[in-house]
């Protein structure tokens, strides 16, 4: 097979939809177009049947009951509904929420909003490997804490948090536990019962499904979680999320979950092999390469590395036939280097030099070989251009140099 360019290796941003998902969805745009809430004719029944099938497919992937799945427009909405929904519903119990500094903006910005509304939020720091410190979590809990929200796996560095331990701590204290599982769902085994998760967000487009559709798992038993609705309307989804259901999208999300469920074990092994191959090649050919985040507790398809003394955007420019992303400030809208990498405490310079590789279902070994060779080549070229690499080679301690910050 010959390579097709550009090569996509940015699966944490989004994934290509699986043809099988697309095939499952298509009839629901035209032929089976009913409103799932129409109770008195076949169009509605067919749509409802498709929605309920999807609910089951999602529930099966995460060890939940179909009744515990609430459809949303994606994980941004799921996260908003979870956090605001809990905060408002349980406000009389307390006003304190605990989350982590490395969460997705859909969590962090929602928390900021809640702070404006009078809630108190603790943003736990992470350790240098990206994992939270469970003792710090324990210490942060007060008798006003109503919710702990910690992501399952991080979207930049792929580290998988100790979800079961977090859940245990939450349970001991009678605190609800929400997890943003966008990056983990369908990639590594998740079981909301075993894991002890009360509320969990997922989205279609990170698991080879469609964009604009997601779900929120909301526990019905032990404890029964209640959420304040964030949109008023027809009272769909047990009153938690009004709005006519996006039937084709929901069918796609369900199909995507079923495929992940079936293929996850093998796909995970394959991707871990390819990811490790990529890593090993980079380390074999280049010096001063640093892995960002814990390598053991990590998604199988993620690699996030910093090529010291090379700026990320210039590296992306050199590998312009490969789609990856960088934590460099130059590639972000805010001109700030990645807050996730900064939270690891390794220093902004390594954030500027970082590249995130996100392998996926359609990544081939040939692509990995090509990307490794290309990255190695460009890093070498840019290091010849780098005054910092030159100084490093001369034995200069860069941390002792007086820079003219600007």
Partner 1 sequence: MAYSDKVLDHYNNPRNVGSLDKADPNVGTGMVGAPECGDVMKLQIKVNPETGVIDDAKFKTFGCGSAIASSSLATEWLRGKSVDEALAIKNTEIVAELALPPVKIHCSVLAEDAIKAAIADYKAKEEKRTPVGAVTA
Ligand X SMILES: Cc1ncc(COP(=O)(O)O)c(C=O)c1O
Chain contacts with ligand X (rule: CB under 6 A): 74-76, 79, 104, 106, 151, 155, 180, 182-183, 203, 214
Size of the site for partner 1 (CB under 8 A): 28
Q: Choose the one of ligand X, partner 1, none that binds residue 182, judging by a C-beta under 5 to 8 angstroms depending on kind.
A: ligand X
Contact between residue 214 and residue 141 where contact means Cβ atoms under 8 Å apart: no
**Which contacts (CB < 8 Å, 24+ apart) does range 162-170 have?**
162/131, 162/132, 162/134, 162/297, 163/195, 163/196, 163/197, 164/194, 164/195, 164/196, 165/134, 166/132, 166/134, 166/137, 167/195, 167/196, 167/197, 168/196, 169/134, 169/137, 169/138, 169/141, 170/196, 170/198
E strands, 184-288, are 199-203, 214-218
**Which position among 129, 348, 369, 370 is part of the footprint of partner 1 (CB under 8 A)?**
348
Query: DSSP of 267-323, one letter per residue?
Result: HHHHHHHHHHHHHHHHHHH-SSEEE-S-SSSB-TTEEEEEETTS-HHHHHHHTTTEE
**Which position among 3, 317, 373, 396 is part of the footprint of partner 1 (CB under 8 A)?**
317
Contact between residue 174 and residue 196 where contact means Cβ atoms under 8 Å apart: no
Output the CA–CA distances (angstroms, integers) from residue 330 to 197, 236, 309, 310, in the order listed: 37, 43, 15, 13
Q: Does residue number 292 form part of the binding site for partner 1 (CB under 8 A)?
A: no
Provide the minimum distance between the beta carbon of 392 and partner 1 in the complex, in angstroms, as a whole number: 11
Contact set for partner 1, span 382-401 (CB under 8 A): 384-390, 398
Provide the minimum distance between the beta carbon of 103 and ligand X in the complex, in angstroms, as a whole number: 7
Q: Choose the one of ligand X, partner 1, none that binds residue 301, judging by a C-beta under 5 to 8 angstroms depending on kind.
A: none
3 state DSSP class of 1: coil
Listing from the earlier edge strand, what are the strands of the sheet with 96-100? 69-72, 214-218, 199-203, 176-180, 145-149, 96-100, 120-124
Annotated catalytic residue: which of 111, 257, 260, 330?
330
Q: Does residue number 403 form part of the binding site for partner 1 (CB under 8 A)?
A: yes
DSSP code, position 362: T
Q: Does residue number 1 form part of the binding site for partner 1 (CB under 8 A)?
A: no
Q: What residues does 325 pair with on adjacent strands?
A: 356
**Which position among 32, 286, 330, 346 is part of the footprint of partner 1 (CB under 8 A)?**
330
Provide the minimum distance between the beta carbon of 150 and ligand X in the complex, in angstroms, as a whole number: 11
Paired tokens of 84:
């605001």
Q: Choose the one of ligand X, partner 1, none that binds residue 330, judging by a C-beta under 5 to 8 angstroms depending on kind.
A: partner 1
Select 387 or 395, whichever has its Cβ closest to partner 1.
387
Q: Choose the one of partner 1, ligand X, none that binds residue 387, judging by a C-beta under 5 to 8 angstroms depending on kind.
A: partner 1
330 catalytic? Reply is yes
Select 321 or 390, whichever has its Cβ closest to partner 1.
390
DSSP code, position 375: H
Select 76 or 314, whichever has its Cβ closest to ligand X.
76
The span from the CA of 88 to the CA of 228, in Å, is 6
Q: Does residue number 313 form part of the binding site for partner 1 (CB under 8 A)?
A: yes
Q: Choose the one of ligand X, partner 1, none that binds residue 85, judging by a C-beta under 5 to 8 angstroms depending on kind.
A: none
Select 32 or 329, whichever has its Cβ closest to partner 1.
329
Select 79 or 338, whichever has its Cβ closest to ligand X.
79
Q: Does residue number 323 form part of the binding site for partner 1 (CB under 8 A)?
A: no
Q: Does residue number 346 form part of the binding site for partner 1 (CB under 8 A)?
A: no
Residues in the chain: 406
Contact residues: partner 1, CB under 8 A: 309-311, 313-314, 317-318, 328-330, 335, 337, 347-349, 352, 384-390, 398, 403-406
Q: Which residues are catalytic?
A: 330
């Amino acid at each position: 097979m010959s390579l097709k360019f550009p090569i996509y290796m940015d699966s944490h941003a989004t994934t290509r939809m699986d043809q099988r998902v697309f095939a499952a969805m298509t009839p629901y745009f035209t032929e089976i177009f009913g409103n799932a809430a129409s109770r008195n004719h076949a169009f509605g029944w067919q749509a409802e049947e498709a929605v309920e099938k999807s609910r089951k497919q999602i529930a099966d992937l995460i060890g939940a009951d179909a009744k515990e799945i609430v459809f949303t427009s994606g994980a941004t909405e799921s996260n908003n509904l979870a956090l605001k929904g809990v905060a408002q519903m349980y406000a009389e119990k307390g006003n304190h929420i605990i989350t982590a500094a490395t969460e997705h903006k859909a969590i962090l910005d929602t928390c900021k909003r809640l702070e404006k509304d009078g809630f108190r939020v603790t943003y736990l720091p992470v350790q240098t490997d990206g994992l939270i410190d469970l003792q710090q979590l324990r210490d942060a809990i007060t008798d006003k804490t109503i919710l702990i929200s910690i992501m399952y796996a991080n979207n930049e560095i792929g580290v998988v948090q100790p979800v079961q331990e977090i859940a245990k701590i939450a349970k001991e204290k009678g605190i609800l536990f929400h997890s943003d599982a966008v990056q983990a769902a369908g990639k590594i085994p998740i079981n909301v019962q075993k894991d002890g998760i009360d509320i969990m967000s997922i989205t279609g487009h990170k698991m080879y499904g469609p964009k604009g559709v997601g779900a929120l798992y909301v526990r019905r038993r032990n404890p029964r979680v209640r959420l304040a609705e964030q949109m008023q309307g027809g009272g769909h989804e047990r009153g938690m999320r009004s709005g006519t259901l996006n039937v084709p999208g929901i069918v796609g999300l369900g199909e995507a979950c079923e495929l992940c469920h079936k293929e996850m074990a093998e796909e995970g092994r394959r991707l871990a092999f390819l990811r490790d191959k990529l890593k090993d090649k980079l380390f074999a050919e280049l010096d001063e390469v640093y892995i960002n985040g814990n390598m053991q507790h990590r998604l199988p398809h993620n690699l996030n590395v910093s090529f010291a003394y090379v700026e990320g955007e210039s590296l992306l420019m050199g590998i312009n036939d490969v789609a990856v992303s960088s934590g460099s400030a130059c590639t972000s809208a805010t001109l700030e280097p990645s807050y996730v990498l900064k939270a690891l405490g390794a220093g902004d310079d390594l954030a500027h030099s970082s590249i995130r590789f996100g392998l996926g279902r359609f990544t081939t070994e040939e692509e990995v070989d090509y990307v490794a060779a290309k990255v190695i080549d460009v890093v070498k070229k840019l290091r010849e251009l780098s005054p910092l690499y030159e100084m490093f080679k001369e034995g200069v301690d860069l941390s002792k140099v007086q820079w003219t910050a600007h």
